Amino acid sequence: EIVLTQSPGTLSLSPGERATLSCRASQSVSGSKLAWYQQKPGQAPRLLIYGASSRATGIPDRFSGSGSGTDFTLTISRLEPEDFAVYYCQQYDSSPRTFGQGTKVEIK
Amino acid sequence: EVQLVQSGAEVKKPGESLKISCKGSGYSFTTYWIGWVRQMPGKGLEWMGIIYPGDSDTRYSPSFQGQVTISADRSITTAYLQWSSLKASDTAMYYCARSREAGMLHRSFDSWGQGTLVTVSS
């Protein structure tokens, strides 16, 4: 099983600032089969990024993903008020399709 | 518009059985894998398993194998998650979600149901 470790656990930032979230895999994720999801309280997760760097339909371009192998990054270039949420990475390269434990982006 | 609509919240006692549902619409139900994800109170997301409604090919996470059963009824475009004997530790929100690309197993989830809250308490 591929274990995904996200850091930091919590990120305290102000609107307008840049957010950088990390996801590290215990073994290589082939084909960059890594996704990022956003979850707000009381809501289902929403797909942001797939294939490590492709934005899902309707996702603003302030969200970007990068990385390959075992190290992946989600960047939010300028935080908007609606971006404060929990973010999860997920690998879908091998079974089981594991998720990271999440990074909470909170208002400073 | 792709929609996954899940059944309503359930309150059950330990040892009882339960089957929750996820109805897909707005797309070809039989050609997209549908998965189930657990979220325990205040915790993260856990991938449980996935089914291809076209032929009912099903894969389970080892953590959930033997604990739940995933099924689908193509005639009513509905996927199911069921338990034969619930435990208090099954208390969680359960989401269904669709794979992003038709016919492809190794894809992210691009559409999600609203979630079904299952509470198991004596």
Q: HEC string of B18-80?
A: EEEEEEEECCCHHHCCEEEEEECCCCCEEEEEEEECCCCEEEECCCCECCEEEEEEHHHCEEE
d(CA A62, CA A91): 22
> Which chain B residue has the Cα nearest residue A30?
B106
Contact (Cβ atoms closer than 8 angstroms) between residue A72 and residue A56: no
Task: Tell me the average confidence (pLDDT) per consecutive run of 10 residues in chain B, 122 residues long.
Answer: 97 98 97 97 97 96 97 97 98 97 89 98 96
Identify the pLDDT of residue B106: 84
* A92 to B106: CB separation less than 8 angstroms, yes or no: yes
Contacting B with CB below 8 Å, chain A residues are: 1, 31, 33, 35, 37, 39, 44-47, 50, 56-57, 88, 90, 92-93, 95-102
Which residue is closest to B62 within chain A, CA to CA? A96
Please give the torsion angle defined by the CA atoms of residues B71, B73, B76 and B81, in that order, rounded to the nearest 10 degrees. -10
Euclidean distance between CA atoms A52 and A69, whole angstroms: 10
Tell me the average pLDDT across A79-89: 97
